[in-house]
């Protein structure tokens, strides 16, 4: 049974039993500050379980895309570790409980394939329950499971919590016996390879506190409502139903692995036995490739782009591990153009949007691979230099600091550093590297901890919402309201958070900054400095009190600054117009991946490889302004999400949308996007638009910036004034400025070249004079001088002038000293590095021919001591 069919059957089974089918949330966990990615099927339902939001349905079912990366280094080493996986789940929010959860799971698992089930052999299914969960035990006995196949286990295995105070409860896990070929008899406690867990039923019935670990907490009572949260691993069920060993061999993964093996000439699983295959180095690398390429496809598909922080860093690391694994298997060409289309074909039956959006996805992926291949070349050069310096100084070990720098700054893999160093006969200070990595992880954890607000932080907002109901939000209808103050939460200094029964203020969302304005009353004057939606349905106003006080129950006049809103509308509509102009000029793959706009300013990130030429940038700007000049109508419609997508409305990657969405159209289908922002009524109201910059924000990602309205006029006026002043200074007409400036630059380069030639000649004359007047020190020609020029260059010139004579040259330039010896002196045992270390008490460095360090003390004294060292050497 194909994986897509397993997914379809799961959702159909629960839909037939009254569950609402909920689409998977995007992989980036945008709504949860504690997570980078969705890592479990229940994450999007957490606010319902915690009571922060009222669920719109009593029961639900979903197949959630998930990412787990804490054990990324273990991927491929066993059959259990993978980064991307899919979790089938059914959920009850105070509706059914244990009996129905167990019945529904058993029915789907054992129902014949012909009847829409999975057709598992009931005689091969085992169940585990929590130690004292006699109710679950009895229910499984009632289903027909014998006592011999029901196992009681402790908190570590069969008690679930989120790791924080809140809901928790016992769980029951289902295992499938894959037979003696996979391990010994005896059930899950004996061998969890043979007995493969495929479904976990969580009975959320308790409230816990004093949580210090998974097994250390206090149960303070039962929840007001009992909930169900289940998770059935889609990949695990696929491996069972497809009769394969592990997740790497199912239909959504194996073709990627097979193509990698074909390209590299490797044979997967060539050693006998499951354990042997897992430990074979080539098999591990092939598994890494298959897993990581699929994961990269899914992450980019959900709007993540490679970068050096956060989600983008995880994606970059995953992609580079896959590319590196291909190189270790002997493939040195571009790998992703060979592998990513295979992953697309594997996953598009379940996620057809991947095929529709593949051109954008592939552009980002291939651009990142090209960048990394350049990194490998640059890193190899840096590593070669470090190895040469280590060997020339007599060292046998590359420092951990250098290995960490290569890894952290240049993205150069540590395993490649180890491999290349070993080829050159050097070890690497692995302990030092690991210590620096540990420090980095500690900093990252501290940062993550600092970012964690915890779900409990929302309780104060939830209390306001529960007590007063949702805010009546009128930002689309009016700029002013008479409002009642529902609650005031204290803040820092003169800033408080205010909740109103109705508000005209736009809350920051969809890339648009929040409104500015005033709250006024008989005894109040306060400015709005921020507006947010901390929980769905509630608007929170950050307010700075300018005069008077504000208390619950007050009636206030809420007024948006009309100039602010006008500028915001111009900028947001301008963002849509720039997006449409980019797609008009560059093609449909130039899709927005993020945006930000405030009054008079906008920026838009989009998928594209390579910078835009001046001509292309000008064309985008012209297309945008022509659309503004045409005075296109701007319309808003509310339609079902499926209808909006069918009509070609563009959505922002990574965003979650309700079933009914707001579609903003400019000129009908000229620009059609899902958007919750405020907009002008007709495009001409934008005034004008000027592109101010275009830059890279990551591999395959560009950023365009622009100003609109009065800010565009001011920008163009400044540009005009600047051109006018330059033209006056250069005594040229404005249109002649480019040629005039180019001529001046060419002349400057010529003058610099002539000056450099003159400097070289002067150094040559000095070097000739110094060499001719070298002091004889026991048969060694010694030259010790100071200079205001380039000490290294002068030392090298003197060395050349000494020719075949044994000689030592010391040159002090500023705060640095350079020491070099001629080949004839080196044959006598003189070493530049040795001399400078003696001279500077161990400081300084270099090789036998050339060394340098910091000149401390009197320069004349240093040169005399160098002469004496030459004699004693």
b/e burial code for range 253-279 (CB count within 10 A of at least 16 → b): bbbbbebbbebbebebbeeeebeebbe
b/e burial code for range 231-251 (CB count within 10 A of at least 16 → b): bbbbbbbbbbbeebbbbbbbb
Tokens of 407: 């890894």
Query: Binding site annotation covers 572?
Result: yes
DSSP letter at 37 equals B
Contact by Cβ (8 Å): 329, 264:
yes
DSSP letter at 70 equals T
Query: Binding site annotation covers 346?
Result: no
Q: What is the CA angle 510-514-518, rounded to 5?
A: 160
Pairwise CA distance, residues 419 & 411, whole Å? 16
Tokens of 27: 């992989």
Provide the terminal-to-terminal Cα distance of the chain, rounded to the nearest Å.
81
Pairwise CA distance, residues 25 & 41, whole Å? 9
Query: Binding site annotation covers 584?
Result: no
Pairwise CA distance, residues 375 & 403, whole Å? 15
Residue 513 half-sphere exposure, CB side, CA atoms within 13 Å? 21
Tokens of 306: 């490679």
Report CA 249 to chain centroid distance, whole Å.
Answer: 28
Strand partners, 61: 21, 90
Contact by Cβ (8 Å): 240, 102:
no
Q: Going by DSSP bridges, is the β-strand pair 540-548/524-532 parallel, antiparallel, or unpaired?
A: antiparallel
Report CA 797 to chain centroid distance, whole Å.
Answer: 51
Q: Going by DSSP bridges, is the β-strand pair 845-846/850-854 parallel, antiparallel, or unpaired?
A: antiparallel
φ, ψ of residue 678 to 5 degrees: the values are: -95, 145
**What is the sign of the dihedral through the CA atoms of 732, 738, 743 and 748?**
positive
Which of 170, 123, 167 minimizes the C-alpha distance to 149? 123
Q: Which residue has the tokens 């479904």?
A: 199
Give the three-state DSSP class for 199: strand
Contact by Cβ (8 Å): 624, 581:
yes
Contact by Cβ (8 Å): 620, 612:
yes
Q: Which residue has the tokens 């005034």?
A: 687
Rg (CA), the chain: 35
Tokens of 434: 């690991």
Give the three-state DSSP class for 766: helix
Pairwise CA distance, residues 485 & 497, whole Å? 11
Tokens of 856: 């401390």
Query: Binding site annotation covers 206?
Result: no
Contact by Cβ (8 Å): 371, 312:
no
Output the 3-class SS for 371-429. HHHHHHHHHHHHHHHHHHHHHHCCCCEECHHHHHHHHHHHCCCHHHHHHHHHHCCCEEC
Q: Which residue has the tokens 């906008």?
A: 602
Give the three-state DSSP class for 191: coil
DSSP letter at 763 equals H
Pairwise CA distance, residues 811 & 819, whole Å? 7
Q: Which residue has the tokens 């929590």?
A: 130
Contact by Cβ (8 Å): 129, 136:
yes
Sheet holding 671-674, edge to edge: 634-640, 660-666, 671-674
Query: Which residues are annotated binding-site positions?
Result: 572, 576, 675, 679
Query: Which residues are annotated binding-site positions for Zn(2+)?
Result: 572, 576, 675, 679
């Amino acid at each position: 049974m194909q994986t897509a069919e397993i997914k379809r059957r799961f959702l159909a089974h629960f839909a037939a039993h009254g569950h609402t089918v909920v689409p998977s949330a995007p992989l980036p966990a945008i709504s949860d500050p504690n997570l980078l990615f969705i890592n479990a099927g229940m994450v999007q339902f957490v606010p319902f379980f915690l009571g922060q939001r009222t669920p719109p349905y009593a029961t639900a079912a979903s197949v959630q895309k998930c990412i787990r990366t804490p054990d990324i280094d273990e991927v491929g080493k066993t059959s259990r570790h993978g980064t991307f996986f899919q979790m089938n789940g059914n959920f009850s929010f105070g509706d059914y409980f244990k009996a129905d959860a167990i019945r529904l799971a058993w029915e789907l698992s054992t129902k014949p394939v012909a009847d829409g089930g999975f057709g598992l052999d009931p005689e091969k299914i085992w169940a585990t329950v929590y130690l004292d969960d006699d109710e679950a035990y009895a229910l499984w006995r009632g289903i027909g499971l014998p006592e011999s196949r029901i196992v009681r286990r402790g908190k570590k295995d069969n008690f679930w919590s989120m790791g924080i105070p809140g809901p928790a409860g016992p769980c029951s896990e289902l295992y499938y016996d894959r037979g003696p070929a996979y391990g010994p008899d005896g059930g899950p406690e004996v061998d969890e390879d043979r007995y493969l867990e495929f479904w976990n039923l969580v009975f959320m019935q308790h409230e816990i506190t004093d949580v210090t670990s998974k097994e250390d907490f206090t149960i303070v009572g039962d929840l007001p409502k009992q909930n169900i949260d289940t998770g059935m691993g889609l990949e695990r069920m696929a491996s069972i139903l497809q009769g394969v060993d592990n997740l790497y061999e199912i239909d959504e993964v194996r073709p990627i692995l097979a193509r990698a093996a074909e390209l590299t000439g490797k044979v997967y699983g060539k050693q006998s036995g499951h354990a042997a295959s897992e430990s074979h180095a080539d098999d591990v690398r092939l598994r890494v490739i298959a897993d990581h390429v699929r994961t990269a496809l899914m992450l980019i598909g959900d709007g993540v782009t490679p970068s050096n922080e956060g989600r983008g860093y995880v994606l970059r690391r995953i992609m580079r591990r896959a590319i590196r694994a291909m190189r270790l298997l002997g493939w040195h060409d571009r790998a992703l153009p060979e592998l990513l289309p295979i992953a697309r074909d594997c996953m598009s039956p379940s996620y057809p949007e991947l095929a529709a959006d593949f051109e954008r996805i592939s552009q980002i992926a291939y651009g990142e691979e090209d960048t990394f291949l350049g990194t490998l070349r640059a890193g190899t050069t840096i590593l070669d230099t470090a190895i040469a310096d280590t060997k020339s100084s007599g060292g046998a070990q590359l420092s951990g600091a250098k290995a960490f720098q290569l890894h952290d700054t240049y993205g150069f893999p540590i395993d490649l550093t180890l491999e290349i160093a070993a080829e050159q006969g050097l070890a690497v200070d692995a302990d030092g590297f690991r210590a620096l990595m540990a420090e980095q992880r500690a900093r990252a954890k501290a940062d993550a901890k600092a970012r964690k607000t915890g779900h409990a932080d929302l309780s104060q907002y939830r209390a306001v919402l529960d007590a007063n109901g949702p805010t009546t939000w009128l930002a689309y209808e009016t700029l002013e309201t008479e409002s009642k103050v529902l609650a005031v939460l204290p803040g820092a200094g003169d800033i408080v958070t205010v909740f109103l029964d109705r508000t005209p203020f736009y809350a920051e969302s969809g890339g648009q900054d929040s409104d500015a304005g005033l709250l006024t009353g008989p005894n109040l004057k306060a400015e709005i400095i921020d507006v947010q939606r901390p929980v769905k349905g509630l608007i929170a106003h950050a307010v700075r009190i300018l005069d008077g006080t504000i208390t619950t129950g007050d009636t206030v006049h809420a007024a948006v600054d009309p100039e602010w809103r006008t500028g915001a509308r111009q900028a947001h509509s301008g963002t849509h117009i720039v997006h449409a102009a980019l797609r008009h000029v560059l093609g449909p793959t130039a899709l927005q991946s993020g945006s930000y706009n405030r009054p008079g300013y906008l920026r838009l990130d989009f998928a594209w490889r390579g910078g835009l030429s001046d001509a292309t940038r000008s064309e985008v700007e012209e297309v945008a302004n022509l659309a503004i000049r045409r005075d296109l109508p701007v319309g808003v419609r509310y339609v079902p999400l499926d209808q909006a997508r069918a009509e070609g409305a563009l959505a922002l990657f990574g965003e979650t949308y309700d079933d009914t969405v707001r579609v903003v159209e400019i000129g009908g289908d000229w620009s059609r996007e899902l958007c919750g922002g405020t907009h002008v009524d007709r495009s001409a109201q934008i005034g004008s638009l000027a592109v101010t910059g275009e830059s890279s924000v990551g591999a395959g990602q560009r950023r365009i910036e622009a100003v609109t309205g009065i800010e565009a006029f001011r920008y163009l006026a400044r540009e005009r004034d600047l051109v006018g002043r330059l033209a006056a200074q250069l005594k040229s007409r404005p249109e002649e400025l480019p040629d005039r400036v180019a001529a001046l630059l060419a002349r400057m380069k010529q003058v610099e070249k002539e000056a450099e030639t003159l400097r070289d000649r002067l150094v040559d004359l000095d070097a000739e004079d110094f060499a001719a007047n070298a002091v004889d020190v026991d048969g060694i020609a010694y030259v010790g001088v100071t200079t205001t020029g380039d000490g290294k260059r002068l030392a090298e010139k003197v060395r050349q002038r000494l020719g075949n004579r044994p000689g030592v040259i010391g040159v002090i330039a500023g705060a640095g000293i350079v020491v070099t010896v001629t080949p004839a002196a080196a044959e006598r045992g003189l070493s530049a590095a040795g001399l400078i270390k003696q001279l500077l008490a161990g400081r300084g460095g270099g090789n036998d021919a050339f060394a340098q360090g910091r000149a401390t003390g009197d320069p004349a004294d240093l040169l005399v001591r160098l002469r004496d060292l030459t004699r004693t050497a």
